[in-house]
Amino acid sequence: MRQFLTVISFMLLTIGAFAGFSNLGIPQIEPAPPPVEEVIDLGSMNMEQFIALGDRIFNGKGTCTLCHNSLGRAPDLGQIGTNAQARLDDDRYAGDAADIEGYLSESLTNPSAYVVVGFGKAGSDDTESPMPSTSGGSIALSDPELAAVIAYLQDKGGLEVTVEIPTDVEVPEEEPAEVASGEPRAPFTTFQELADEFACEACHTIGEEAGDLGPNLSAIGASRDAEYIRRAILDPNADIAEGFDEGMMPDDMGEQIYAIELEIMVDFLSQLK
């Protein structure tokens, strides 16, 4: 009996050790499920729902929170209520907006019309914005989506919401990426899908898409090897590319991607020469 118990407890310990290892020792990947395309009928929306739509775009498809977050990569938009009028009154203002709604709209589609002091592209003396246009490029919000984001910004800044809900269009809306435990998403299979999903091109120029907050990666393979690139993605602050600041590139990529996806990105980038 004693021996039987010893065997049983040894087995339990072994199983326990394996379970513990698989939970703690292997990095857990909590990928987001694929976005659900939901068609929203704007005609039946009230302003509260329209603002909520803007909130979802701001935190999801718009990729705004990559930069507008507490890390200080971009201005705090909670203060936009007081800041917007001051921008318009500033001598440096070079745009065409007549009111706050116009300023917000212009900020989204032509960010360089006014560059907040200290946030310009390196070397541009705050004349060029590193923010990509959100109506084109890889973000590509539609006009109704931009309107929803403006309504959200006005509401968030404690301003009067002056945007009108467009009536005759439908916006396809992506659900915010939620972490669903136990239901892993299917891995992406191409670099472009990954770059779109993780908005690499909001910050980097890779081929045709132009982002300026991070280094141009169009020929990264000529100067960096696969190992460097892998580390740059998983642990961005391990090496800081010259002329750029620490803490700018998101450092949670490793928790969001599959190993196979990491290798797709590393292979693709290493071959850009």
Tokens 């209520």 correspond to what residue?
81
Cα dihedral sign for 52, 57, 60, 64? negative
- For ligand HEC, the closer of residues 166 and 214 by Cβ is 214
- For ligand HEC, the closer of residues 163 and 253 by Cβ is 253
Burial class of residue 49, CB neighbours in 10 A (0-12, 13-18, 19+): middle
Considering only the stretches 17-25, 156-164, 179-187, 193-201, report the one whose residues sit in contact with ligand HEC under the rule CB under 6 A. 193-201
Contact 206, 214 (CB under 8 A): no
Contact 122, 213 (CB under 8 A): no
Cα dihedral sign for 222, 223, 227, 233? negative
Is residue 80 a contact residue for ligand HEC (CB under 6 A)? yes
- For ligand HEC, the closer of residues 91 and 168 by Cβ is 91
Closest separation in Å from C-beta 235 to ligand HEC: 9
Helix 143-156 crosses helix 47-59 at what angle (to 10 degrees)? 100
Cα end-to-end distance, the chain, whole Å: 69
53, 97, 171, 233: residue in contact with ligand HEC (rule CB under 6 A): 233
- For ligand HEC, the closer of residues 166 and 197 by Cβ is 197
Identify any residues that bridge with 38 across adjacent strands, giving them in sequence order.
Answer: 173
Closest-CA residue to 43 (of 144, 143, 140, 149)? 144
Residues 40-69 that bind ligand HEC (CB under 6 A): 58, 62-64, 66-68
32, 52, 88, 116: residue in contact with ligand HEC (rule CB under 6 A): 116
Count each helix (H run) and each strand (E run) in the chain, helices first: 11, 2
Is residue 161 a contact residue for ligand HEC (CB under 6 A)? no
Considering only the stretches 24-32, 38-46, 88-96, 245-253, report the one whose residues sit in contact with ligand HEC under the rule CB under 6 A. 245-253
Closest separation in Å from C-beta 45 to ligand HEC: 19
- Give the binding site for ligand HEC (CB under 6 A): 58, 62-64, 66-68, 74-75, 77, 80, 83, 87, 104, 107-108, 111, 114-116, 119, 129-132, 134, 149, 153, 198-200, 202-204, 213-215, 217, 220, 224, 229, 232-233, 236-237, 239-241, 244, 248-250, 253, 265, 269
